[in-house]
């Protein structure tokens, strides 16, 4: 069964500092996609970053980057130069290449401290 684990229920970071959110997953498939979604207090789910499993290069989007370790089934999110607007719940998600269902982690609540 596919599972996604986020072991950090809550984290905090000082403004302008860097923070890393961890995510591990379990699958027997070789082709899949991984995502980080952000849910701010408005509760709108916002796509932060996306990674294809067949790509070795780690995805980056401005201040957001991932450390994708396929063998270890690890997909951590690094936020650089943290801003107050980064305060939100962050969900790691996974979908198989041939699948239809997203599998979400339990989320990490990130607070950026001014």
Partner 1 sequence: GAVVSQHPSWVICKSGTSVKIECRSLDFQATTMFWYRQFPKQSLMLMATSNEGSKATYEQGVEKDKFLINHASLTLSTLTVTSAHPEDSSFYICSARDLIGTGVQETQYFGPGTRLLVL
Task: List residues near partner 1 by CB under 8 A.
Answer: 33, 35, 37, 42-47, 50, 89, 91, 93, 95, 97, 100-102, 104-107, 109
Residue number with CB closer to partner 1 (42 or 56): 42
Residue number with CB closer to partner 1 (14 or 44): 44
In whole angstroms, give the CA distance from residue 73 to residue 40.
Answer: 27
Taking the complex as a whole, how short is the minimal distance between the CB of residue 87 and partner 1, in angstroms?
Answer: 14
Question: Buried b vs exposed e over 52-84: b needs ≥16 C-beta within 10 Å?
Answer: ebeeeeebeeeebbbebeeeebbbbbbbeebee
Taking the complex as a whole, how short is the minimal distance between the CB of residue 26 and partner 1, in angstroms?
Answer: 16
In whole angstroms, give the CA distance from residue 110 to residue 8.
Answer: 9
Taking the complex as a whole, how short is the minimal distance between the CB of residue 78 and partner 1, in angstroms?
Answer: 20
Residue number with CB closer to partner 1 (46 or 113): 46
Residue number with CB closer to partner 1 (43 or 114): 43
* Strands 108-113 and 10-14, bridge-based pairing: parallel
What tokens appear for 94 in the block?
Answer: 């996974």
Taking the complex as a whole, how short is the minimal distance between the CB of residue 44 and partner 1, in angstroms?
Answer: 5
Which SS3 state, helix, strand or coil, does residue 85 take? helix
């Amino acid at each position: 069964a596919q599972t996604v684990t986020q072991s950090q229920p809550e984290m905090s970071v000082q403004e302008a500092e860097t923070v890393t959110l961890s995510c591990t997953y379990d699958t027997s498939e070789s082709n899949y996609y991984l995502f980080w979604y952000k849910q701010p207090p408005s509760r709108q789910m916002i796509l932060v970053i996306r990674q294809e499993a067949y790509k070795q290069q780690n995805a980056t989007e401005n201040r957001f980057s991932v450390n994708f370790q396929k063998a270890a089934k690890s997909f951590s999110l690094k936020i650089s130069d943290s801003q107050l607007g980064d305060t939100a719940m962050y969900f790691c998600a996974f979908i198989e290449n041939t699948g239809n269902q997203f599998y979400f982690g339990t989320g990490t609540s990130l607070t950026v401290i001014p």
